[in-house]
Structure 1
Amino acid sequence: MKPLVQIQNVGMSFETKKGRFVALRDINLQINEGEVVSLIGHSGCGKSTLLNLIAGLTLPTDGALICNGREIAGPGPERAVVFQNHSLLPWLTCFDNVYLGVERVFGQKEGKDKLRARTQAAIEMVHMGHAATKYPGEISGGMKQRIGIARAFAMEPKILLMDEPFGALDALTRAALQDELIGVMQKTGATVVMVTHDVDEAVLLSDRVVMLTNGPAATIGEILDVRLDKPRDRLTLATDAEYTRCRAAIIEFLYQKQVRKAA
């Protein structure tokens, strides 16, 4: 597979009142086209910091990040971000929230009819066509997150970055959106990097799970290959031996190796 993102000897430090705080050190990772990678670890291990570095929202103190052959020097339309908070503009309809992103990326290349068609297709892809004219305040949290995902996919990014996109949702809504995301990723062949605290979510969605050590000065502790056929069905996986193995490996890392070190 062709590498889309290369993270080379990356470190991230912050200056604080108490001195220099090292959040990440010696991060080396390659993310291939069409791959789904989850970042998992205890709170404060730098998962979101690493995602922000890939997004270009912050720049590394050490090392370099390369996307599609170019060094990441700031945000770009080839890297779309879905945050835990849907980040929809409350004064715009669901359609207009998605259209805003589409227009910024494709506005100088395509006419309004094509922009609107692209927007509508993205909304339909997440099964939200019935709510296109509604405002964010008129729909549920799960629906808002669907629109946020539609907006990201409508921009046709090279890579989709997701920071605990389902973390604020109840269990049933989260499961429904995970299944929705599996369908969308299957259709688009998207490359995805996702921050999660949920072991089951990481195994269900990922090709690889990157496990970070405890912070400060966190780094990659282990990388788990998830050898499960796609598309995946959560009911079938519940009794699958490979699913159980992957889940146990992550739990062992998080709750035995890392907890023991912290103690």
Structure 2
Amino acid sequence: MSRKTIVKVEGAGMSFDTKKGKFVALRNIDLNIAEGEFVSLIGHSGCGKSTLLNLIAGLTLPTSGSLICDGREIAGPGPERAVVFQNHSLLPWLTCFENVLLAVERVFGKKEGRGKLKARAEAALDMVHMSHALQKYPHEISGGMKQRVGIARAFAMEPKILLMDEPFGALDALTRASLQDELNGVMEKTGATVVMVTHDVDEAVLLSDRIVMMTNGPAATIGEILDVKLARPRDRLALAHDRDFVDCRAALLEFLYQKQVKKAA
């Protein structure tokens, strides 16, 4: 059964005025994202991955084309779209619990009591295995733990779409792998729609249903879209020797390091 389209990008383009004139970051972006789908955006630096994510988030508005979320034009940020950045963006004067509770209050505060709001925040932190750190401040926990809290905060808002901009990029390899597995588990529980910017080929294949490969900038656009037809739940150790995983990885590497590098040369 086909799933409902929740994000529709139609002919979107983005340009910026600079001292040297107009800089075209994106052109002719057409993309449909279905409910419950995990889509990764991948490409070389300067290919407009984060710009496209920001357009979906409503943090910037396109200079051409349109973006629709759940039947409405995206005209700015909204609680149905939560963003997780590489920098966790936790408020340092609030505890982990208070950071999550603040987001919960913004979304549900007008219609739910204090007890229900606290329960939401605690449940979100428990989902990412951070219940032991409820009363700790950001400076008292590791980088990986901070990112867990950031993810908990985003999921606690119950967004229709979770937007992630290289959320694990600043972490060491083992912590990164642990959080990737964590995110896979959370996805199984919530069925959320996710759009993630990454530069990591293995991460993209491990997590995604589809991978959007961007051409080199300036004036970047979608080069190819790869369907990742790997059964869920996914086990990274089993996938290391899976033929389909290896083929998807090879297709990404070919696009990034042959097709795009040749064009750049």
TM beyond 0.5: yes
Partner of residue 118 from structure 1, selected from 105, 117, 120: 120
* C-alpha RMSD of the superposition: 0.2
Match of 1:229 in 2: 231
Task: State the shift of 1:177 in Å.
Answer: 0.3
Structure 1, unaligned runs of 5 or more: none
Q: Distance in 2 between matches of 1:83 and 1:254?
A: 23
Task: State the shift of 1:97 in Å.
Answer: 0.1
**TM-score where L is the length of structure 1:** 1.00
Q: Distance in 1 between matches of 2:131 and 2:242?
A: 35
Structure 2 SS opposite 1:254: helix
**TM-score where L is the length of structure 2:** 0.99
Q: Distance in 1 between matches of 2:258 and 2:192?
A: 33
Structure 2 SS opposite 1:113: helix
Partner of residue 158 from structure 2, selected from 150, 156, 159: 156
Q: Distance in 2 between matches of 1:147 and 1:89?
A: 11
| Paired letter, 1:51 | L
Tell me the alpha carbon deviations over residues 19-41 of structure 1, each in whole angstroms, 9 at most, x when there is no partner: 00000000000000000000000
Match of 2:82 in 1: 80
Task: State the shift of 1:14 in Å.
Answer: 0.2
Task: State the shift of 1:145 in Å.
Answer: 0.1
Match of 1:30 in 2: 32
Partner of residue 47 from structure 1, selected from 35, 46, 49: 49
Q: How does 1:1-263 map to 2 (within 5 A)?
A: 1-263=3-265
Task: State the shift of 1:121 in Å.
Answer: 0.3
Structure 2, unaligned runs of 5 or more: none
Task: State the shift of 1:68 in Å.
Answer: 0.4
Percent identity (aligned): 80
Task: State the shift of 1:42 in Å.
Answer: 0.1
Tell me the alpha carbon deviations over residues 155-192 of structure 1, each in whole angstroms, 9 at most, x when there is no partner: 00000000000000000000000000000000000100
Tell me the alpha carbon deviations over residues 119-172 of structure 1, each in whole angstroms, 9 at most, x when there is no partner: 000000000000010000000000000000000000000000000000000000
Task: State the shift of 1:106 in Å.
Answer: 0.2
| Paired letter, 2:194 | V
Q: Structure 1 segments of 4 or more deviating over 4 A?
A: none
Q: Distance in 2 between matches of 1:55 and 1:131?
A: 29
Q: Distance in 1 between matches of 2:115 and 2:70?
A: 30
The count of aligned residue pairs is 263
Q: Distance in 2 between matches of 1:91 and 1:36?
A: 33
Q: Distance in 2 between matches of 1:118 and 1:144?
A: 18
